[in-house]
Amino acid sequence: MLDKRLLQEARRTRCFLWLTIILGLFSACFIVLQAGLLARIINRVFLEGQGLAEVKIMLGLLLAVFLGRAVVTWLSEVFSHKTAAGIKEDLRQRLLSHLFTLGPNKIKDESTGELVNSLVEGVETLEAYFARYLPQLALAALVPLFILGFVFPLDLLSGGIMLLTAPLIPLFMILIGKWADSLSRKQWQSLSRMSAHFLDVLQGITTLKLFGRSRAQLEVIARVSDRFRETTLGVLRVAFLSALALELLSTLSTALVAVGLGLRLVYGRILFEEAIFILLLAPEFYLPLRLLGTQFHAGMAGVSAAERIYAILESDNKQETNREQEINEEEKINKVKRTKKETKIEQDTDKIQATDNKQDTNKEKHYIKRELSQEQFKELKVMENGLSGLRLKCAENSFLLMENVYYAYDRRQGEVLKGVSFKFSVGERVALVGESGAGKSTVAGLLMGFIKPDLGKIVCSSQGALLCLDSPHPNNEGQGEQWSSGSVLTKWRENIALVPQHAHLFSGTVADNILLGRTDASREEVVAAAKLAGAHDFISRLAQGYDTPVGEGGTNLSGGQVQRLALARAFLKEAPFLILDEATSGLEEAGEARIQEALEYLRPARGVLIIAHRLALAAQADRILVLSEGRIVEEGKHEELLQRRGVYYRLVKAYGGAA
């Protein structure tokens, strides 16, 4: 029941642990002293016929011992809690920061309920492990040994009984504990699953009512509860068995010691004072072991929780195999089929990398209008459409490029992206369209660095700096580290703002939520961003305006309103690139027109990628990329693509020719 990883955690607060052990020794001393004094007093009064006056010094000493014990008890409680608190804090931080490095695409598989449970309850469970179980373990090892040192010289037989039974107790604990361990794991799982199930039922209660099934859910809850009761009782039945064995061992041996002492006393083979001393010590000898038994469950729960916590901590971004080779072979076959355009883009990237060293190629100018070294920032303070004060910093020569990118979530289910290449620059408005499931959101995830490409490159050139997200090379340690250290990713993400389809509002005020885009923005800028996103009107109507609390426990906003706040947030961020991932599907026509206006306003400072299956926004884009079956199959302006009568034409036609 000692988890190595948990003990390593304990090492961080080693001095506290040592203190706990020293305090344990002190308490053992006091126990022996107390028993000795009591035995002597009783002996004097009972057999030697002394009165109160003769034993009053010893009675006074006894009081002092009581006080000493109490102080030790208090101190050990305080210290063990300190130990636990430090460790818990540290673990929670590590868990959270690890989840952040894993990123949003990875945690989609986990249910939020279970993750929160691990983060909150799981970490709290460790309190019992560190504050109760571990100190008790120390006591259980020290106190019996100390007592034995006093019993053996006085009475071999009693000492022998104690010595024989004591090791049996941990033995039983380990034997039964191992058995109960797997059951305990099950219990933890079923508790986790039960909480997830409940959340699910409650979130879906409206749906259940719609189908007239909400009442029937009672039965399911009863069934789930019963199953939980059964598994938990199953665990406890066994866990209690270990307690039974422990209890039985200690009480039965106390009884044996007592009877043995009594019999030897009759024959005068032992002194009364010694006999009563040993009797007083017998329960104290077993007490720490028994208490360890009661903490055993806490210990197991801690280890189970730790299991889950470390599973999260050790979960990797993606299992690497010899994917590289697989793709390379596919590549060879595909190369022949490749279109000219793709090759061009590849050349392009090669050129860009070349410019890092020398800056004289003239072909590249065709793609990169201005030289990378020439940083051109524009500070615009525009008064337009009543929008004022939003700072627009822009680097005109920035671009974002994706080259021959492959990606599969799960190789068995096939590739989502099969060699996607495109590029867009600041000042451009590009739309990415395609049927649902074509891989549009995967492109967004890759561009944000949430997931790594299996193969291919993603390059961002911004403000003169060139950043590259490569496919991970299994034999290249350095790059793998770069990914996890996130220094590249952090810089990368500074350049891109994303509005996801379902935006999250954090607990805090409306202003706080917009400020997330750029924390040092002034109130004027927040208002300007909100106006730009068409959120200002409804915010002003809220009871406390921009200071209205939203998110968990705050005012409820409609889906469209949340989406507008998310847009405002993204507008505020001074990133040269903006990705709207189905961000306007919650908005009505007027709202969408508003966004068009806003994008037009932002045009000099932003490159915008609109991911949409709604074609109204897409139709007005400078360039439309059509994604189908993991590839970009068409590219061009709305009219051009319509004339081509290809995939885009079909999409538009289906939409009713609205655009």
d(CA 73, CA 30): 11
**Minimum CB–partner distance for residue 394 and another protein (Å):** 19
**Nearest approach, Cβ of 185 to another protein (angstroms)?**
18
Torsion sign, CA atoms 553, 554, 555, 556? negative
Q: Which is nearer to another protein, 414 or 474 (CB)?
A: 414
125 contacts another protein (rule: CB under 8 A): no
- From residue 425, alpha-carbon distances to 200, 264, 403 in Å are 43, 98, 15
Report if residue 259 touches another protein, rule: CB under 8 A: yes
Q: What angle do CA 295, 299, 301 make, to 5 degrees?
A: 115
Identify the residue among 13, 165, 184, 254 touching another protein (CB under 8 A).
Answer: 254
Q: Which residues in the 569-598 window bind another protein by CB under 8 A?
A: 569, 573, 582, 585-591
The verdict on 548 binding another protein (CB under 8 A) reads: no
Residues 414-443 that bind another protein (CB under 8 A): 433-437, 441
CA distances from 213 to 192, 208, 304 (A): 24, 5, 35
The DSSP symbol for 368 reads S
Near another protein by CB under 8 A: residue from 2, 14, 64, 226: 226
Rule CB under 8 A: is residue 234 a binding residue for another protein?
no
Q: Which helix (H) or strand (E) holds 259?
A: helix 216-266
Report how far residue 489's alpha carbon sits from residue 483's, in angstroms, rounded to the nearest whole number. Answer: 7
Return the residue of 405, 516, 527, 533 that touches another protein, per CB under 8 A: 516
- Binding to another protein (CB under 8 A) within 289-328 occurs at none
> How many residues does this entry show for the chain?
659
Among 183, 275, 368, 401, binds another protein (CB under 8 A): 275
Residue 614 touching another protein (CB under 8 A): yes
| Cβ–Cβ under 8 Å, residues 76 and 131 | no
Residues 472-501 that bind another protein (CB under 8 A): 490, 493-494, 496-498, 500-501
Q: Is 64 in the site for another protein (CB under 8 A)?
A: no
| Residue of the chain from 168, 201, 313, 593 that contacts another protein (CB under 8 A) | 201
Of positions 2, 15, 67, 466, contacts another protein by CB under 8 A: 67
Based on the shown chain and the rule CB under 8 A, indicate whether residue 450 belongs to the binding site for another protein.
yes
Is 522 among the residues that bind another protein (CB under 8 A)? no
- 281: tokens are 């010590």
Among 47, 64, 156, 171, the residue binding another protein under the rule CB under 8 A is 47
Nearer to another protein, 345 or 648 (CB): 648
Partner residues linked to 611 by β-bridges: 432, 581
Eight-class DSSP state of 316: -
Helix (H) or strand (E) segment spanning residue 440:
helix 440-447
Decide: is 566 part of the binding site for another protein (CB under 8 A).
Answer: yes
406 beta partners: 418, 455
Q: In what order do the strands lie in the sheet with 399-407?
A: 417-425, 399-407, 455-462, 465-470
From 517, 576, 607, 630, residue interacting with another protein (rule: CB under 8 A): 517
Of residues 347 and 484, the one with the C-beta less far from another protein:
484
Among 495, 516, 496, CA closest to 504: 516
Task: Name the 3-class secondary structure at 418.
Answer: strand
Shortest Å distance, C-beta 312 to another protein: 11
Single out the residue of 4, 52, 57, 477 in contact with another protein (rule: CB under 8 A): 52
Of residues 415, 419, 416, the one with CA closest to residue 335: 419
Q: Specify the amino acid at residue 110.
A: E
Cα angle, residue 50 at apex, residues 44 and 52 outer, rounded to 5°: 105
**Among 33, 40, 185, 232, which residue interacts with another protein (rule: CB under 8 A)?**
232
State the minimum distance, in angstroms, from the CB of residue 38 to another protein: 7
Q: Measure the CA–CA gap between 136 and 129, rounded to whole angstroms.
A: 10
81-120 binders of another protein (CB under 8 A): 81-82, 85-86, 88-89, 92-93, 96-97, 99-100, 103-104, 107-109, 111-113, 115-116, 119-120
Identity of the residue, 223 or 369, whose beta carbon is nearer to another protein in the bound complex: 223
